[in-house]
Amino acid sequence: MLFLALRTLRARKGGFAGAFVALVCAAALVTACGALLETGLRGDIRIERYAGTDTVVTADQNLHWTKHKKGKTKTKSKPLTERAWLDATAVDTLRAIPGAEVVPELTFSAHVLTAGGRSLDTDGNAWGHAWESARLTPFALREGRAPTAAGEVVLDADLARRADVRVGGTVTVQAGRAPGGYRVVGIAAPPGRDALARQASVFFADVDARRLAGHPGQVASVGLFAAPGADPGTVRAAARKALAGTGAQVRTGTDRGPAEFPAATKARVTLVSLGGALGGTSLLVAILVVVGTFALSIQQRRREIALLRAIGATPRQIRRMVGREALVVGLIAGALGAFAGLGLARWLHGRFVAFGAMPDTLALKLSPIPLIGAVLLTLLAAWTAARVSVRRAARVRPTEALADAAIERPGLGVARTIGGVLAALGYGVLLLVLSTLDTEPKSTPVTFLTVILAAVAIALLGPLLARAATAVLGLVVGRLSPISGFLAARNARAAAERVAAVVTPLSLAVAMASTILFTQTTASHAAGEQVKAGTLASYTLVAKPGVPGRAAEAARAVPGVEVVTEVLHTLVRAGRDKFAAQGVTPQGVQRTLDPKTRSGSFAALADGTVAVSELAARTKGVGVGDDLRITMGDGVVVTLKVVAVYERGLGFGDLTLPHAVVAAHVDRPAAEAVLVSGTAALVRESLQRALGEFPGVRVLDRGEVEQARRDRAGTQAQVNYVAMGLIIAFTGIAVVNTLVMATSARRREFALLQLVGTTRRQVLRMLRWETGAVVLLAAVLGSLVAYATLTAYSVGMTASAAPYAPPLTYAAVLVAATGLAFVATVVPGRVALRGNPADTMGLRD
């Protein structure tokens, strides 16, 4: 059978081209997702700043908890969302180790500003340090001297160039609560370059650094050196022993990278979840598409298989032959697709870095593992698809084989019908489950699994749906076009399996595209409406590196201003549950924000208290008057009393805490926005004048704030669009692939129509009518699946059965699907009609 399989592949290269293309795309997707997943699990974080030391000591940058399940105890860990600081007593402990030299490190947000108040570091990755920690780095003075007194700084050479300042000049640096002027006493740089590749550096005198860091009695990390004559391994071992039980971590080698770039550690977790979700969805879509492609290929080979059965081939031999054909095609396609997937992985990594979803300090990890996995999964998908597709054709009795090949069976097999009904019931169950999920991490995978399960039901029950739909559409089409329309209707009804094979990927493309696009718009629109309705402030102050605290104080002194609320966002945990949180200035917050309180009083927010959303209250089982233990982003645990439960958690976060609490536990404490509410006499110009000493701070009205929010939401959604857009592209390729295969295989049918008197124009018109009917059926099915899925998603996420789908975007989806369908049928149709009909009828089937 292997010999026969190879001969068949040689003779039917065109018939296997569709399956080959689908498998190449599937392998590329799986490889790219596998590379992202491996990067999340094993990717190296590049070391820059700590290149001058072999050993770095930090606080534990993970949150740990114990999980009990089925009599077993497991310890789980998750990275903190902010930098955890180390108690300064660890410095004294390390200094007591014989042969150890200790260099404490302070790291805090510090931005050099232009005269117009713009931050020179466009990506916001600029940090201040004490000069004493320069020993940990590759920096050396290129000009000037070290800072020794308050008000003195050393800039990296790149910052000095962009600021157009030399030694002896002055710069404005925003660090701490207000920008300040500093005298440049030195310029430093790593060997052979002007700055570190991924961070700008400003070095302060030790007295300024301790004040600006805002963590008295703590250090960001400690560099550990072995004194001359001491053994580094012995010093490290002594350090681990001395710090045992304190939670401090001694890092060496590549483990120094996470200490330098905590954001890269968080990105690892994001990549694992994203790569897993994208890879799983891709694989399910790939299997569905490949099954459909092989089914169409087997359908076109029914006469061949019937002849083999008639001359004595057993069902087992037919299945083995087709299975081996699939393995050969899958092996070649998998190898090509796997190598193409490496380039796709690099592109995806670059896009995620460009969108800010992950730092470029987390290097893409490429190894043979994703390639091998992609090839194996492609082989498995091809073999499974072929075996499933050939079951019916292989079971036909030899005496009925040729007759069965000539006529399409009107009914479905029992197993296929039962499978289709079960898939439809499973889709309904998942809709109910989806309507109960109220967080994005829980709902996203279920959303796409729901769509795929609906596509499975459509694929299995497709012939029944096609016959019912074409029976109705045939009456309409036949009246509109008595010749071409009549032929189109008859053809569609007679070839329901072929119609179903085309409708399945097209409806999947419509459903998947609509779901991916409109889950984003639904959540974003609901959050935007909550923010719009709940923001009472007349004006909002914003600045690129954050609004300094002194700017908020200046705004409070403006005549007509009644309430000024500083707002700062973060992520916190309550137990094992992660929540989006905002820190707000408590005094008069009810005048600037209205989160729609359901119980308690939002005005009662004060030091030591917290307001929670209904989701957080339900998840943690707390209400007004209860205490809630919260783990801040840097791992510090605080206990706050719940004073209010509010509804608008999607727009304002699930926890609202005092601003001072949040600012003390984040890496960038400057307010992201400052809300200003006042009397009718308050005008924008007076606010802007009062903020003259803060040139980077802008005053926005409500319309400008709303536009800025939409821009931010669009940027955040781009990551999901790019990731899941690959699946849309894959299904689009599958649509074209299937339509070209289905149309190209009808050459003899078109030739016969021409021989009996139908003109070439009438055949093409018939083909357009058929395509129009198929597009209409697929659009209706895909839209119904997407609408039901989006409604369930909206109920869970927004408590409203009203998903938001911009009409123009939805129309664009339908236009794209229609365009693909017509191009993929009309072009092959024209090619198929080029030859002489009599010669075409004489060609081998």
pLDDT at residue 362 is higher than 90: no
Please name the helix (run of DSSP H) or strand (run of DSSP E) that holds residue 163, with its range, or none.
Answer: helix 157-163
User: Both ends of the chain: CA-CA distance in Å?
Assistant: 21
Distance in angstroms (rounded) separating the CA atoms of residues 283 and 444: 16
pLDDT at residue 239 is higher than 80: yes
CA angle, residues 459, 464, 469, in degrees to nearest 5: 105
C-beta separation of 749 from 833 below 8 A: no
The residue among 499, 500, 496, 514 whose CA lies nearest residue 458 is 500
Q: What is the pLDDT of residue 287?
A: 74
Long-range (24+ apart) CB contacts under 8 A made by 619-628 are 619/574, 619/577, 620/574, 620/575, 620/577, 623/599, 624/599, 624/600, 628/574
β partners of residue 112? 173
Contacts of 251 (CB under 8 A, 6+ apart): 55, 56, 57, 58, 258, 259
Instruction: Tell me how far the alpha carbon of residue 838 is from its chain's centroid.
Output: 55
The residue among 294, 343, 320, 302 whose CA lies nearest residue 23 is 294
Q: What is the pLDDT of residue 609?
A: 96
- In three-state secondary structure terms, 46 is coil
- Report the pLDDT averaged over residues 332-343: 89
Distinct helix (H) and strand (E) counts, the chain: 26, 26
Per-chain mean pLDDT for the chain: 83
In this structure, the strands spanning 62-69 and 178-189 are unpaired
Please name the helix (run of DSSP H) or strand (run of DSSP E) that holds residue 584, with its range, or none.
Answer: strand 577-584
Which of 311 and 478 is assigned the larger pLDDT?
311
Task: Band the pLDDT of 590: cuts 50, 70, 90.
Answer: very high
In this structure, the strands spanning 200-204 and 126-130 are parallel
Instruction: Tell me how far the alpha carbon of residue 71 is from its chain's centroid.
Output: 36
Which of 428 and 4 is assigned the larger pLDDT?
428
Distance in angstroms (rounded) separating the CA atoms of residues 659 and 246: 29
C-beta separation of 252 from 55 below 8 A: yes
The residue among 697, 707, 710, 355 whose CA lies nearest residue 546 is 697
- In three-state secondary structure terms, 57 is strand
Distance in angstroms (rounded) separating the CA atoms of residues 835 and 832: 7
Per residue in 719-763, pLDDT (tens digit) is 666 766 777 777 777 777 777 777 776 777 777 777 777 777 877
In this structure, the strands spanning 609-613 and 126-130 are unpaired
DSSP state of 253: G
β partners of residue 593? 535
Per residue in 609-666, pLDDT (tens digit) is 999 999 999 999 999 999 999 999 999 999 999 999 999 998 999 999 999 999 999 9
C-beta separation of 263 from 360 below 8 A: no
Tell me how crowded residue 348 is: count the other CB atoms within 10 A of its CB. 23
The length of the chain is: 845
Q: What is the pLDDT of residue 713?
A: 60
Distance in angstroms (rounded) separating the CA atoms of residues 814 and 510: 7
Two tokens, residue 134? 């320069």
C-beta separation of 518 from 803 below 8 A: yes
Please name the helix (run of DSSP H) or strand (run of DSSP E) that holds residue 327, with its range, or none.
Answer: helix 315-354
Per residue in 563-575, pLDDT (tens digit) is 999 999 999 999 8
pLDDT at residue 110 is higher than 60: yes
Per residue in 288-300, pLDDT (tens digit) is 777 777 776 776 6
Question: Residue written as tokens 């403006």?
Answer: 558
Contacts of 153 (CB under 8 A, 6+ apart): 147, 171, 173, 182, 183, 184, 185, 202, 203, 204, 205
Distance in angstroms (rounded) separating the CA atoms of residues 563 and 586: 10
- In three-state secondary structure terms, 605 is coil
Contacts of 643 (CB under 8 A, 6+ apart): 600, 601, 602, 604, 605, 606, 609, 610, 611, 624
Q: What is the pLDDT of residue 486?
A: 63
β partners of residue 67? 74
DSSP state of 671: B
CA angle, residues 631, 632, 633, in degrees to nearest 5: 125
Q: What is the pLDDT of residue 489?
A: 64
pLDDT at residue 791 is higher than 90: yes
Distance in angstroms (rounded) separating the CA atoms of residues 755 and 49: 79
Distance in angstroms (rounded) separating the CA atoms of residues 152 and 760: 85
Dihedral, CA atoms, 819, 821, 827, 833, nearest 10 degrees?
-140
Q: What is the pLDDT of residue 373?
A: 87
